[in-house]
Every structure is written in C-alpha cells, then in structure tokens.
Structure 1
Amino acid sequence: MKGMVFTELLDMAEQALGEDVVDQILDDLALESDGSYTSVGNYPCRELMQIVGAISVRSGASIEELQRQFGAWMLKRFSQGYPEFFAGKTNVLDMLDAIENEVHVEVRKLYPDAELPKFDTRRPDAISLEMTYQSERPLVPFCRGLIEECITHFGDPAEVTVDDQSANGTGRAVFLVRLAA
C-alpha cells in the first residue's frame, strides 16, 4: 500500500488526538516499518489496520467509523491535490463513474506499482450509480467515506446504500448512490 495513505492517516490522527498520542501509538505497536513512512514508499496493509485499530482504542471510535472518517479526509485531500480529476464533472455520479477509467489510469501513470481497488460501475437510471468495489484490502467503510464526502463535495443531495460482501479479509461491496429526486 502506498505510503501516502499512511502519512495521511497519521496526519488525520495527529489533528484529532495530538502528535504525542500518535507517537505513543506507533511506539506501542510492533510494526515492520517501525512506524516510519514516506509518501512514495510501499507498506503492508496489515500495518495500516494495526494503526487504525490502535487509534480506535485511543479515540473510542469504532474501526468502521475511523475508516469512514479517513475516507472523507482522503477525498478532501484528493480534491485539493488533484483538482483536475474533479474538473468537468457535473455531479457526484459523474465523478464516481470516472474513478476506474480516468482517475485510476492517471494514478497508474504516476505510481505504476500502486495496487488499486477495482470499481465496476453502471447507471441503472439517470439519477443512480451502482459501484461494485473489489479489493484485496478490507476497506469497505473507507470507500464509503470517500463516496459520502464526494457527495458533500459536489453538493448533490444523495443517499448511499451499501451491500457489503466482504469475506476472508478482502473487500467487496456494491454501493448504490442515488440523487434526491
């Protein structure tokens, strides 16, 4: 997993809990990386999950809620750091529909070794988008947080439903995003 994900998680945790608490969390965990991450490095997802678990214990928030918050955090960071991905998109459905065939194509150009999730999309009607998320990583709540923040970013009143089909430590879910009529 790209180090940028780790550095952003730690930034979010530092903002919420303070730098000293995050340093203590990292010191208490037996991490292969010793809790030292660079944005361009690659690290095992299990370390991310260890850190999320430890932050959950310290903050009192559930692991699922932390992943959702982190997904929202990352969408904000993406929109600030890569506004060109959002340009020309008229609504949240257009943006979400572009992730696999536009955004991920560009990410692979920048980071050829990135292990990205797969998103298959279809439009059942003019106001809905169905996204099937598949990943080797158990990050369905993170993905939900990204989607929810994308809705906020575009200001489109919408609802999200999720059918979580994850099993054996992998992530799979079908999200239905429906604009308010």
Structure 2
Amino acid sequence: MKGIVFTEFLDLVEDKFGLEMVDKIINESNLESEGIYTSVGTYKFSEMLQLLQHLSENTNISIDELLLVYAEHFFNVLETSYPGLFATYNDPIEMLASIENHIHVEVRKIYPDAELPTFEVVEKSENSLTLIYKSSRAMHHFGLGLMNKTFEHFNTEATILLEKLKSDGTTVKFIINKK
C-alpha cells in the first residue's frame, strides 16, 4: 500500500483525535515500519489494518465509519493536489464511470506499483451508475466516502446503495442514482 495512504491517515488522526492518539495507535500496533512512513514508500496493508483497528477500539467508532471519514479527508487532498483531474469532468456520474479507464491510469503514472481496486461499470445512464468494486482489501467504505465527496464536489445529490456480493466485502455493488 502506498505511503501517501498512511501519511494522510495519520494526519487525519492527528487533526481529529490529537497527536497522543497517533502515538497510541502506533505503539499498540506491531508495525514493521515502526510507524515511520513516507508518501512515496510502499508498506504492508496489514499495518493499515492494525492502525484502523486500534483507532476503532480507542474511539468506539467502527472501521467502516472511520474509512468514510478518512475518504472525505483523502478526497480533499486529491482535490488540492490534482485539480486538473477534477477539471476534466463536468458531472459526477461521468467521473465515477471513468475510475478504471482514466483515474486509475493517472494514479499508476504517479505510483506505478500501486495496488488499486477495480471498478467495473455494469450499467450507466445520465442519472445512474452501477459499479462492481473488487479488492482483496475490502475497503469499500473508503470508496463510498470518495463517491460521496465526488457528488459534493459537483454540488449534486445522490443516493448510493452498497450491496456486498461477497460477505467479506471483497466484491461490492454500488448502485448510484442522482437526485
């Protein structure tokens, strides 16, 4: 997993819960990196799982809820760091439909060894989109948070339903309808 995911996560933890919480979750975890991350480094996903688990235990906030909040934070980072990417689109449905064929292509230019989820467009119309998310990491709530922020970015409302196609969350259907 790319280091930017770790550095931004720890920034979020510090902003929302304080530096003491950052230290606490790092110390409670068994991290090969010892909690020292660079944005361009690559680290084991198991480290992110430990950090999320310990943050959840210390805050009584579910991992899914933490991933939603983190996705909102991460979206703001992307929006600031890559404004040209967002300027390419005029509509949230178009942007979300292009995750696999455009957005992830651009991410791989910056981070060639990034392990990204896949998003298959099953059905698309002007006001709706059905995507199948697949990832061994089962971070679908992170994806949901990014989708929510995409609609917010375009000042558009939507309903996004999440349906687990595999109980472990590695395959999920997102049914998106613009209001």
Partner of 1:91: 91
For residue 59 of structure 1, report the CA deviation from its aligned partner: 1.6
Partner of 1:58: 58
Partner of 1:146: 146
Q: Is the 8 A contact 1:14 1:22 kept in 2?
A: yes
Q: Is the 8 A contact 2:117 2:134 kept in 1?
A: yes
Partner of 1:162: 162
Q: Is 1:18 the counterpart of 2:18 in the alignment? A: yes
| CA deviation string 1:17-42 (max 9, x = no partner) | 11122112201211111111111111
Which secondary structure does the structure 1 equivalent of 2:37 belong to?
A: coil
For residue 64 of structure 1, report the CA deviation from its aligned partner: 0.9
**Inter-partner Cα distance in structure 2 for 1:123 and 1:30:** 43
**Inter-partner Cα distance in structure 2 for 1:171 and 1:75:** 22
Q: Which amino acid aligns with 2:77?
A: R
| CA deviation string 1:111-160 (max 9, x = no partner) | 11111111111444321011111112120111111111111111111110
| CA deviation string 1:51-75 (max 9, x = no partner) | 0111111222111100111111111
For residue 177 of structure 1, report the CA deviation from its aligned partner: 1.1
For residue 165 of structure 1, report the CA deviation from its aligned partner: 2.2
**Inter-partner Cα distance in structure 2 for 1:87 and 1:121:** 22
Aligned residues: 179
Residue identity (%): 37
Partner of 2:47: 47
Which secondary structure does the structure 2 equivalent of 1:155 belong to?
A: coil
For residue 110 of structure 1, report the CA deviation from its aligned partner: 1.6
Q: Write out aligned runs for 1:112-151 (5 A).
A: 112-151=112-151
- Following TM superposition, the consecutive aligned residue runs of length 4 or more in structure 1 with deviations greater than 3 angstroms are none
Which secondary structure does the structure 2 equivalent of 1:22 belong to?
A: helix
Q: Greater shift after overlay, 170-179 or 48-57? A: 170-179
Q: Is the 8 A contact 1:140 1:164 kept in 2?
A: no
Which secondary structure does the structure 1 equivalent of 2:102 belong to?
A: helix
RMSD (CA atoms): 1.4
